[in-house]
Structures are given as C-alpha cells and as structure tokens.
A and B are shown apart, each in its own frame.
Chain A
Amino acid sequence: MDGGALFVETFFKREVIARYLPDILKGMLVTVEIAAAVVVTGILLGLVLALVRSYRLRPVSALIVVFADIARALPPLVLVLLVYFGLPNVGINLSSFAVLWLVLSLVLAAFAEEIFWAGILSVRQGQWEAARSTGLTYGQALFHVVLPQAVRLTVPPLTNRTIAITKNTALGTVIGVPEILNQATTAQSFSGNATPLMMGAIAYLLLFVPVVIVGRWIETRFAWRRA
C-alpha cells in the first residue's frame, strides 16, 4: 500500500466514518448544549459579581476577588476532578454533565468578572460624577451611564476568553460526558482505527473555526483605538 492509501485507510476509512458518524453528531449536540449553558450562566454570573463589586463593600469585594483569583489560577481539569470525585463522598451527587457545566461556568464567571470589573474601572470618574450630579442614584448611574460604556470595552477580551473556555468542554471526556472527544475516543477503541479521532477533530473545526473567525471580527470591530 502506498503512503497516500495508507493515510486514507488510517484517518479517513469509509466504513468507519459511516459506522460512527451518528455518534460523533450526537457528541456535537452535547458539546453545543454544554457550551451554550456555560456561556449563559458564566457570563451572567460574572456580570453580577462585577456589579456587586462596584458597590465596594469591602468584605464582599474581597470574597469576590479571592473566588476570581482561585478560579483563574487553578487548571480547570483539577476543578473537574475535585468536584466530580469529591462531592459524592460528602453526599452531593451530580451527573458528569452537571459537574462539567458547573465548573466551566464558575471558571468563565471568574474571568468575566475580572473583565467586566476592568471595564467598569476604565470608565472615567467624570462620567460617574456627571451622572450623579444630574440626580441619578448610584444604581441608575451604574446601569444607564457607566455599564453601557464599560461593556463595549469588554467585548473583545470577553469573546476570546469565552471561546477558550467553551473549548474546555473537551475535558468532559475525562469524567465520561458523551461529548465529541468522548464519542471519538470510544469509537476509536472499538474500531481499532484512528478515523474517529480525525472525525472528532473535524467536528471541532466545524464548530469552532466559525467562532474563531467571528471572534476576530468582533475584536477589530470593537477595538479600542489608541490616539
């Protein structure tokens, strides 16, 4: 067998593709579900934490900072294993899907909180003062004046971070979430052929290349032009 045929036989074997395509498609659906759930809860929680922090109540802010630092410093896989294997022993049973969703949401929330907070800080003090002096309450100034300006600044870094964290859905394979990578490795060991791994990689490309390209477009669209 020449090299090209061997390559096709190893990574693009037609019978294997036909046999395992439904599994990979099922995995894609699971990946999309978790990613969507993580994006929604993670960004919302991050925004809420940043807003709470903007009231500058010392003990509360300190707790938020500690949470954000820990969740940003630890590898997500460490947290996944900790929650998945640790909680059942103290009487809390979560499905592997729920564990992955919970951990990735917390990690995204930590990064999102820091990004939103940086955005709030970068709105000039004069904006606060002007808003308050027109008679707006603190909350009104925050929601109607500061936040709209802050969010615009946060879009590019938040997009990049969100893409990176949704790709971590692949970590679910370690605890048996039936997402793309899990389906691909299972199919690979059943078929004794590397084709399912190639299918898995292509499935990720199909899902994430458009996301990466949109992310780059957003980055230039919302770029902060320095004078």
Chain B
Amino acid sequence: MDAILQQFFNLDIMSQAAPLILRGLGMTLLVCLAVVPLGLIGGLLVALAGRARQRWLRFGVAALIDVFRAVPPLVLLIFVHAGLPFAGIRLSPFASVCVAFFLNTSAYYGEIYRAGFDSVGHGQWEAARSTGLTGFQAMMYVIVPQAVRNVLPDLVSNTVEVVKLTSLASVVALPEMLYSADMARSLTYNSSPIVLAAAIYLVLLWPVVRLISRLEHRLGG
C-alpha cells in the first residue's frame, strides 16, 4: 500500500513537477485551440463536398474519409513528422500535429455533419429556396443550423476525443502536458507526474463526459 502511494501519489514529486506540467497544459490548450476549429471547419467542408453535384467530388471525398478513418492518428502523425522530411517537407512538431490531426478529425467531424444533413428534411431546402434564398444562403441560414443542432451530442463527444488525441503529440516531442509529465517521470523514476497529468485531464474532461452521458442516455431519441 505504501509502495503504491509512494509510486503514484507522491505529493513532493507532484509539486516539483507541477510547473513543468502546467506549462505543458498551456501547450495542450494551444494545440486544442488550433486543432478543434481546423477539424470543425474541415469537417463542414468535407460534408458539403460530399453533397456536391459532381460525382467525382463526392466519390473522392468518400474515399478520403475512409482512408483517414482507417489509418490510426498516431500513424498519420508519425508519417507527417518522420516520413515527409524524406520528401523535403520539414514541419515543426506543432505544424505536424496540426496537419495530421486536421486530416484525421476532419474525416470524423465530416461524417457527423453528414448525418446531421441527412436528418434535415428535403422540404426545408425546397422551402428555403422557394422564398428566394440563394443556395448558399439556404445552406448557411436554414440547413446547417438545424443539422448542427441535431448532431450536437456527437460533435461534443468527438471534440472530447480530439482533446484526448492531442496527447499523441508527445510522441513527436511536442512539449504538451503528457510529454512534460513523462519527462518528469523519467527524471524521477516515479509515476506521480503522470498521475497529476491524468488528474488535470480528468478535471478538464469529466464534466463534458458526464454531459455527453446525459445527452445520449436514450439511444434513438
């Protein structure tokens, strides 16, 4: 029991590691601020392209979505970070993370928006156009707001996944929270810094996870 406390809940080591981990938290938040909006916008574009009149565009987008949903995000990240330099494209860890996760999360957000669009009846589109709105206006003022509202729980749930995803950035040495905590762990031979980082993730995400459970507790509405 004492060994467990010593190994996982050592307050001295936690307080020593805290400044480093808090700086890491700053980087984690910065990555989220970049990746979440990129994914939300990319996903919307993907979903809109999936409804385009051009066949080739629809099929191209569907194929891309499948590819980026099939490749694990860590594989994508390592490919961008370690593979592209061989082709002369050298990105900083932060830029690699943004590019890799943009591709991954756009595909996921795109699928969610698609389900949202499907849930808005075609009559809405016809009614909007018949009142004289242009196609763009009908989309932005009538279809998208309803679609987003219908899939809001899924969007929130996916955003939690994206925040958790940012921990992978530690693998390419971006000094975010998990990287900082793991560095402290290897310096102290003690897991308490990682427990501290885990506690911070919990504080950030637990309320949202609870909220999602409430929103989703009846399948099929």
For A73, the chain B residues whose CB sits under 8 A away are 160, 164, 201-202, 205-206, 208-209
Query: Which chain A residues (72-109) contact chain B, with CB distance < 8 Å?
Result: 72-79, 81-82, 85-86, 89-91
| Residue A177 CB within 8 A of the other chain | no
Interface band, chain A: 35 or more
The answer on a CB contact under 8 Å between A86 and B219 is no
| Residue B146 CB within 8 A of the other chain | no
Q: Is the interface of A mostly helix, strand, loop or mixed?
A: helix
The answer on a CB contact under 8 Å between B82 and A212 is no
For A137, the chain B residues whose CB sits under 8 A away are none
- Choose the segment among A18-26, A40-48, A53-61, A201-209 that binds chain B (4+ C-beta atoms closer than 8 Å): A201-209
B145-159 CB mask vs A (1 if < 8 Å, else 0) is 000000000000000
| Residue B213 CB within 8 A of the other chain | yes
- Choose the segment among B12-20, B47-55, B91-99, B190-198 that binds chain A (4+ C-beta atoms closer than 8 Å): B190-198
| Residue A188 CB within 8 A of the other chain | yes
Cα–Cα distance between A157 and B205 once the two chains are bound (Å): 20
B197 interface neighbour in A78, A164, A197, Cβ under 8 Å: A78
Number of interface residues of B (CB under 8 A): 54
For B190, the chain A residues whose CB sits under 8 A away are 89
The answer on a CB contact under 8 Å between B209 and A72 is yes
* CB of B157, distance to nearest CB on chain A (Å): 9
| Residue A62 CB within 8 A of the other chain | no
The answer on a CB contact under 8 Å between B72 and A77 is no
Cα–Cα distance between A6 and B87 once the two chains are bound (Å): 8
* CB of A163, distance to nearest CB on chain B (Å): 8
The answer on a CB contact under 8 Å between B219 and A181 is no
A151-182 CB mask vs B (1 if < 8 Å, else 0) is 00110010000011001111101100000110
| Residue A36 CB within 8 A of the other chain | no
Give B contacts to A, CB under 8 Å: 3-4, 7-8, 66-67, 69-76, 78-79, 82-84, 86-87, 160-161, 164-168, 170-171, 178, 182, 185, 189-191, 194-195, 197-198, 201-202, 205-206, 208-210, 213, 216-221
Give A contacts to B, CB under 8 Å: 6-7, 10-11, 69-70, 72-79, 81-82, 85-86, 89-91, 114-115, 117-119, 121-122, 153-154, 157, 163-164, 167-171, 173-174, 180-181, 184-185, 188, 193-194, 197-198, 200-201, 204-205, 207-209, 211-213, 224, 226
What are 29 A-B interface contacts by the 8 Å CB criterion? Answer: A7-B87, A10-B86, A11-B86, A69-B210, A73-B208, A74-B164, A74-B198, A76-B164, A81-B185, A82-B191, A85-B191, A89-B190, A114-B213, A118-B216, A167-B70, A167-B72, A170-B72, A180-B75, A185-B78, A188-B83, A193-B86, A197-B82, A201-B79, A204-B70, A204-B72, A205-B70, A207-B70, A208-B69, A209-B70
Q: Which 10 A-B pairs have the closest CB atoms?
A: A224-B220, A208-B70, A86-B191, A75-B167, A194-B86, A170-B72, A75-B164, A73-B205, A167-B72, A197-B83
- A6-B87, A73-B208, A205-B67 provided; 19 other pairs, C-beta below 8 A? A10-B87, A73-B164, A73-B206, A75-B168, A78-B201, A86-B191, A90-B7, A91-B3, A114-B213, A117-B217, A118-B218, A171-B168, A174-B171, A188-B83, A194-B84, A197-B79, A200-B79, A204-B72, A205-B70
